[in-house]
Amino acid sequence: MNATGALGRYGERLAVRRLGEAGMAVLAVNWRCGRGGEIDIVARDGDAVVLCEVKTRRAGRFQHPLAALTPAKAERLRRLAGCWLERHGGPPPGGVRIDLVGVVLPRRGAPVVEHVRGAA
């Protein structure tokens, strides 16, 4: 795994922990659909299914991770949500939500993890 991949996996582990702290149950990590794509985290929040896109950045080098969810990425997540629902029995009573978890790794100190509900 290259450095970028390792950084992303670290951010996903932090995101899983944050979602758990928020009372969400993680159902899958790095779930792949044959239609070309991956959902970083699939979780359950009450009676809703939540698809989470995780973006991890080192502080100061790139745009803030919460700015990285483009319309094209949001559309890809919607398509993947359809694939998840087809394979897991259709939509849950609480519906489906797309969240974004942004992780910023400062040069010093603890990572900053932000969770935006209903980002797309």
Q: What is the reported pLDDT for 1?
A: 65
Split at pLDDT 50, 70, 90, the class of 3 is low
Contact (Cβ atoms closer than 8 angstroms) between residue 101 and residue 15: yes
0.85 cut: is pTM over it? Answer: yes
Distance CA 103, CA 114 (A): 6
pLDDT of 6: 82
Q: What is the CATH number of the domain that holds 11?
A: 3.40.1350.10
For the chain, what is the domain count? Answer: 1
Domain encompassing residue 72 = 3-116
SS3 state of residue 102: strand
Spell out the residues 6+ positions from residue 28 whose beta carbon is closer than 8 angstroms to its own: 39, 41, 42
Question: In this predicted model, what pLDDT tens digit does every residue of 35-93 receive, in sequence order?
Answer: 678 999 999 999 999 999 999 888 876 667 777 778 888 888 899 999 999 999 888 99
Rounded Cα distance between 13 and 38, Å, is 16
